[in-house]
Amino acid sequence: MPAPANLLPVHLRRTLRADGSLVEWMTVFCPAKARSVATDLCADCTRCHVVVLGRGETPKFVVCESASRGQREDPGVVASPHATPVWGAMSGTVLCVEADVSVERLNAMLIDASIDCAPVVDCDGTLLGVVTRSDLMRWQWRSGAPAVPARSVMQSARTVPAVTPVATVGALMASEGIDALPIVSSDGHPVVVGVITARDVMAWLAHPAGRLREGRLPGSDA
C-alpha cells in the first residue's frame, strides 16, 4: 500500500452542455509542474506508479513520486493553512455549465445537486463567470424568468490558482464577503478544476489534524 504522502486526490469537473449531456474531466495537482494537470498526463509520466479511477463515488487518486514534495515530513504534525494549498481542501467534484445552457436547465441542476453556485466555462473549461442561486432568484423575480442562456445572468468572478494557500483563500473570502471561489489550474492555465466554499474552508480548519484530503484515501491512517 503506498504511503499517504505519495497519494494525490483526483478532482472531477462535470460540465453540463446545452444539449443536456455531461462532459467529465479529471485532474490532479502536479507538484512537479506546480499546477493541475489532466490525469491522462500521469499515465505517461515516469514518476507515476498508478492511476486509480474507481467508478461512482469510490476514491480516485494517483500514486506519484513527486507527491510528497513540499508536504510536511511528519504526518502527525498538524498542517498549517499557510502551507497547505487550496487543492487539498476543495471538494472532489465541481459542476460547471457552458455559457449557452438555458437558465432553466441550470436552475434545475443547482437544485438537484444541492449546490449554491456553478462556474460558467467555455468548451475548454476556461472560466467565463459564475452563476449563484441569488442570480437565479433575481432572474426569476425581477425579470419574470425569461428563456435566456447562462451567460445572460452570470457574474464575473475572481479566480484562485490551485496552489494558493488555504489561509490566503480564507482571508480573501472573509474580507470580501465571498461564499465560493472557482479554483483554476494556475494563473497561466485558467481552466476550472474545482470550487472552494466557505464551508470547505471551515471544515478544513475544524478538522482535528488539519490534514490534506489524501488522508481519507486508501492507505491512510485516518
What's the sign of the alpha-carbon dihedral 56, 57, 58, 62?
A: positive
Q: How far is the CB of 90 from ligand SF4 (least distance, A)?
A: 17
Interface residue with ligand SF4 among 7, 12, 26, 64 (CB under 6 A) is: 64
Q: CB-wise, 30 or 153, nearer to ligand SF4?
A: 30
Closer of 150 and 163 to ligand SF4 (Cβ): 163
User: Distance between CA atoms of 201 and 210, rounded to whole angstroms?
Assistant: 11
119 closest CA partner among 198, 64, 182, 203? 182
Taking CB under 6 A as the criterion, the residue among 17, 34, 66, 189 binding ligand SF4 is 66
> Cα–Cα distance between 125 and 184 in angstroms, integer?
9
45: contact with ligand SF4 by CB under 6 A:
yes
Q: Is 37 in the site for ligand SF4 (CB under 6 A)?
A: yes
Cell 449554491, residue?
116
Q: Which is nearer to ligand SF4, 44 or 73 (CB)?
A: 44
Interface stretch with ligand SF4, choices 35-43, 71-79, 164-172, 212-220 (CB under 6 A): 35-43
Angle between helices 166-176 and 198-206 (to 10 degrees): 130
Cα–Cα distance, 10 to 51 (Å, whole number): 9
Q: How far is the CB of 36 from ligand SF4 (least distance, A)?
A: 9
Neighbouring C-beta atoms of residue 171, cutoff 10 Å: 13
Asked if residue 193 binds ligand SF4 (CB under 6 A), the reply is no
**Count of other CB atoms within 10 angstroms of residue 149:** 18
> What does DSSP assign to residue 5?
G
Task: Say how far apart CA 81 and CA 27 lie, in whole Å.
Answer: 22
By CB under 6 A, residue 166 contacts ligand SF4:
no
Q: Could you tell me the smallest distance in angstroms from the CB atom of residue 216 to ligand SF4?
A: 19
Q: Which three cell numbers stand for residue 177?
A: 464577503
Q: Any contact of residue 10 with ligand SF4 (CB under 6 A)? A: no
Asked whether position 62 contacts ligand SF4 by CB under 6 A, the answer is yes
Q: Which residues bind ligand SF4 (CB under 6 A)?
A: 8, 28, 30, 32-33, 37, 41-42, 45, 47-48, 62, 64, 66
